[in-house]
Structure 1
Amino acid sequence: MLVTPAYAQAAGGAAGGLASFVPLILIFVIMYFFLIRPQQKRVKEHKAMVDALRRGDQVITQGGLVGKVIKVKEDGEAEVEIAEGVKVRVIKSTIAQVISKTEPAKD
């Protein structure tokens, strides 16, 4: 025989190298659909919620404060009344949830 067993095993190595990357690619695809994509969706929804803030909305901040939006500023801040006569300035991105929305004024 002219072909030794060592040469015969090396011939199939090229296809085996590519096949070893398939599980890594599958793991990345699974992580994308189960971790990365849902997180991007949540970030997009939160940004839309923050952009839609308006005066009179009841909100919960990430610190747990519940209050009513008094003023929405353009520089990324909002003024929230947490008790009668007690107003605080919060960064709009720290608003975790809008409890109740106000209806827009009808003209």
Structure 2
Amino acid sequence: MTSLLLQAAGGSAATMQLVLLGGMILVFWLFMIRPQAKKAKMAKQFQENMQKGDKIVTIAGIHGVVNKVNEDGTILLETSPGSYIKVEKSAISLEWTQNVNKNAAAVAEKK
């Protein structure tokens, strides 16, 4: 009789451990994996929709204006009048570019 009670208690403990493990995986997915995937999707979309005249910032902190979007996944970036560098699209920072453009818009509104 006591062995049946111990087996029943052991089975419910194993089930509880599986439920807790599943809950931890769900929380990890909700707070870590999903937001990163969403952020990566937004960055890729931003990089694909770049066009001539956009003010951007690279992940290295180089500020410039897109002069030409090449078919090989690169852009020609004008850093100062007459000075150009070739940069991979993947090296463009979405967050820094949005921050710089937001600050520029705020300064323009104050004037």
Which band: TM-score by shorter chain?
A: 0.7 to 0.9
Q: What is the TM-score of this pair, normalised by structure 1?
A: 0.82
Pair 1:45 & 2:42 matched: yes
Structure 2 residue runs of 5 or longer lacking an equivalent are 102-111
Shift of 1:16: 2.1
Structure 2 Cα separation of the partners of residues 41 and 8 of structure 1? 48
More strand by share: 1
CA distance in 2, matches of 1:11, 1:66: 66
Q: CA RMSD in A?
A: 1.4
Query: Hey, which of these two has a bigger chunk of helix by percent?
Result: 2
User: What secondary structure is seen at the aligned counterpart in 2 of 1:64?
Assistant: coil
- The aligned length equals 97
What is the letter of the counterpart of residue 16 of structure 1? A
Which structure has the larger Rg?
Answer: 1
1:84 is matched with: 81
> Which one of 46, 68, 91 corresponds to residue 65 of structure 2?
68
Which amino acid in the other structure matches residue 19 of structure 1?
M
Residue 21 of structure 2: aligned partner? 24
Write out per-residue CA displacement over residues 28-61 of structure 1, whole angstroms, 9 at most, x where no aligned residue. Answer: 1001111110001000100110011000111000
Is 2:53 aligned against 1:56?
A: yes
Pick the aligned partner of 1:12 from 1, 9, 12.
9
Q: Where does structure 1 lack aligned partners over 5 or more consecutive residues?
A: 101-107
Q: Structure 2: how far apart are the matches of 1:11 and 1:94?
A: 58
Is the aligned partner of 1:94 residue 2:91?
yes
